[in-house]
Structure 1
């Protein structure tokens, strides 16, 4: 699940549109100021609050993306810095493609493809990503007219609650939607193969649901309210009350989600026990994820030009850079669950690590070997900062439900 202040593909998280659109959009959001912060918040599933659902994206691509930009749904926190302001017309010309920045052609980005369901929140780098997201998750979480949700009104309430409390609920909803949609595919294939009479029974439905659950089953799970770390500002004497409040928060979220997408054949997925374990799985397995911004690369390219070219280009780019301030290099960042990575065990002396290289420009997990790994040797990563002292490492790892006995810990054990 990614939280972002940039325009990226809602499926693979590649930056999309153009350098001009990325910069113009950032400047526009920045110009909204703190009032936008109170209204809009964006998560990895590209959902925002109900106030932001006014754009019909059915015919928006590239230059037409910002045709109705004052109402669009990809809202995100603006900067509160006192940066230099640029004219509104200049910003709009960046967003609608009328203005081309010098050397921006050196940094081409995929065109923006709108959501096939007609919502104004999700955009994609290709039709294949749009179709994949629709088939895997988004058809049940889309707020557009072609949404497959049971109730779009209830879905909006669920999203609003998640944005106002904890957007990890949006990722939990994506997981449940993926299982429901996978189950429906499996059932359709089963019915075609076996015939309706033999296949449409509770026992066969349950076996198909368990099959659909398999990709999620491999992640280590505990109930969210049991495994979440106690915040520093919560006294240990209040721990029981804190964990009960977290449980109640999850229950409220689940009821809203159930009203939005409930499927009676997938009823087990809508139990609080399952919901709590799915969210707990994120708490214990998710990776921090960063996708670097091409806008930063663009300004670095301008800075490295020969003096004459640089001086000419900066007549246009310098005021933009001053207006952006520190936000010029803002990246797409957040947290994500990867089933394969979640199978990797911990070691305080790991032979691999999760790491995004310069060429890794999407939201895929990348695991890099830190040393030669022998055939048959287990691939391990570190769940924590392995440079911490022995006692601190063991305390942190206790949240994962085990005591580490890797070679480093055995050597340092008192």
Structure 2
């Protein structure tokens, strides 16, 4: 199989660390790889507000129609072409002890084998340290969310349940190469001004819930700091939607032009109503840690992008332009709107959120916008802050 891969991992001595390089020509639109995360979980507030997703793979548990009814607050709404919904409720299962819900028996079994066996009893007890830990996190991390402390709990459980715990521990540690000062700066940003107090509380509840003498370094303050930095800097956002999947499926149907126009109008009206009721919070949202994805460096002119084509946490990396053999495979850590902003603004966002000064080809060759520090977007942000 190794010879068929379109990429290879390399390590740069120039400060970039890990990177992925194309082993052959990769045409635009081609899949570079697909991978499941080492660990993933739904955001705490997202789950609290009844965005129902599989506790393992994050596939939605609501049908497209149920999802649309809830997000529009319209119990009378009815969708055509219900057979285009990908949710199969008859396959859903539930943990009898902690009531965690899954999209299939396969997901429940995989979760139990990887991490859930160690966490189940604690999740079923409201007074457990694990549930106290989640409350601490929720009370200091309000929407929009970027990560969930349960990722750390699942990481520790996966390490302890692994056939070779030390090897699994090293695999997670390979995500982060920051100095302790850089980690502290990032954790301060992640947790806010009370970061020291919150970090101590997180450390205390993690020790109470999951301490293992053989992995004692994980449970030191420094170990907690390292893992907080890990989930904050390397967590890839995951968003799933049964209604969104239904929309993609019905758009592929061969219909008479008049029916197609009516369907497009209905979809537009539903999305408008969803935005009125819920704003931009339309998806089951969470984050995951992906080994291959973590090797992809940032560029302001990326040649690849992340997609989630299967409606769950399985990540696919797709080429957005032709990639030559030997060329580095790069993604953008910025969204499309941020990529259109000035060089100074792009670099500021990356420095604040990822703690590096971007030196991609665009940033090193673009001199025209070097002093353009206040685009329309920047001014809008300033007005919102004021």
Report the TM-score when normalising by structure 1.
Answer: 0.60
User: Which is bigger in relative contact order (C-alpha 8 A, separation at least 6)?
Assistant: 2
Look up the SS of the partner of 2:128 in the other structure: helix
Q: Distance in 2 between matches of 1:412 and 1:117?
A: 58
Is the 1:152–1:260 Cα contact (8 Å) retained in structure 2?
no
Larger Rg: 1
1:210 aligned partner? 166
- Residue 290 (structure 1) aligned to one of 214, 239, 261: 239
1:274 aligns with 2:223: yes
Separation (CA, whole Å) in 1 of partners of 2:210 and 2:316: 33
Residue 230 of structure 1 and its aligned partner are, at CA, apart by: 5.1
The DSSP-based 3-state class of the residue aligned with 1:137 is: helix
Match of 2:10 in 1: none
Aligned to 1:174: 154
Unaligned stretches of 5+ in structure 1? 28-78, 95-99, 187-208, 232-240
Query: Structure 1 residues 142, 162: closer, same or farther in 2, change over 3 A?
Result: farther
Aligned counterparts of 2:249 and 2:320: Cα–Cα separation in 1: 29
Looking at structure 1, the residues matched to 111 and 228 of structure 2 have their Cα atoms a distance apart, in angstroms, of 21
Aligned equivalents of 2:134, 2:189: Cα separation in 1: 25
- TM-superposed CA distance for 1:272, in Å, is 1.5
Distance 1:144 1:394 in 2: 43
The answer to whether residue 73 in structure 2 is matched with residue 114 in structure 1 is no
Matched, 1:342 2:257: no
* Higher percent of residues as strand: 2
Q: How has the CA–CA distance of structure 1 residues 388 and 133 changed in structure 2, closer, same or farther, with 3 Å as cutoff? A: same
Q: How does 1:317-356 map to 2 (within 5 A)?
A: 326=277, 330-356=282-308
Q: 2: CA distance between counterparts of 1:21 and 1:288?
A: 24
What aligned pairs does 1:21-60 form with structure 2 within 5 A after superposition? 22=67, 26=70
- Residues 212 and 156 from structure 1, CA distance in 2 versus in 1: closer, same or farther, beyond 3 angstroms? same
**Cα distance in structure 2, aligned partners of 1:115 and 1:217:** 32
Root-mean-square deviation over aligned CA pairs:
4.0
Could you say which residue in structure 2 is the equivalent of 1:259?
Answer: 208
> 1:135 maps to which residue?
113
What's the CA shift for 1:113?
3.4
Q: TM-score by structure 2 length?
A: 0.64
- Paired residues of 2:236 and 2:288 also in contact (CA < 8 A): yes
2:86·2:245 contact (CA, 8 Å) conserved in 1? Answer: no
- 1:323/1:412 CA distance change after superposition, 3 Å: closer
Tell me the SS of whatever aligns to 1:335.
strand
Within 2, Cα distance between the matches of 1:377 and 1:295?
34
Residue aligning to 2:376: none
For residues 356 and 248 of structure 2, what CA distance do their matches in structure 1 show? 46
For the residues of structure 2 that align with 1:346 and 1:297, how far apart are their CA atoms? 32
Match of residue 101 from structure 2: 123
> Could you say what secondary structure the match of 2:149 adopts?
helix
Q: Partner of 1:55 in structure 2? A: none
1:9 is aligned, of 45, 51, 54, to 54
Alignment size in residue pairs: 298
8 A contact 1:221–1:284 mirrored in 2 = no
- Match 1:409 to one of 343, 349, 363: 363
Higher mean Cα deviation, 388-397 or 262-271?
A: 388-397
Q: Assess, with a 3 A threshold, how the Cα gap between structure 1 residues 388 and 20 changes in structure 2: closer, same or farther.
A: closer
Distance 2:79 2:303 in 1: 44
Find 1:390's aligned residue among 315, 337, 343.
Answer: 343
Question: Does structure 2 retain, via aligned residues, the 8 Å contact 1:293–1:330?
Answer: no
* Unaligned runs of at least 5 residues, structure 2: 1-40, 142-146, 371-386
Identify the residue that residue 24 of structure 2 maps to in structure 1. none
Aligned match of 1:238:
none
Distance 2:156 2:175 in 1: 14
For the residue of structure 1 that corresponds to 2:198, the secondary structure is helix
Partner Cα distance (2:88, 2:122) in 1:
23
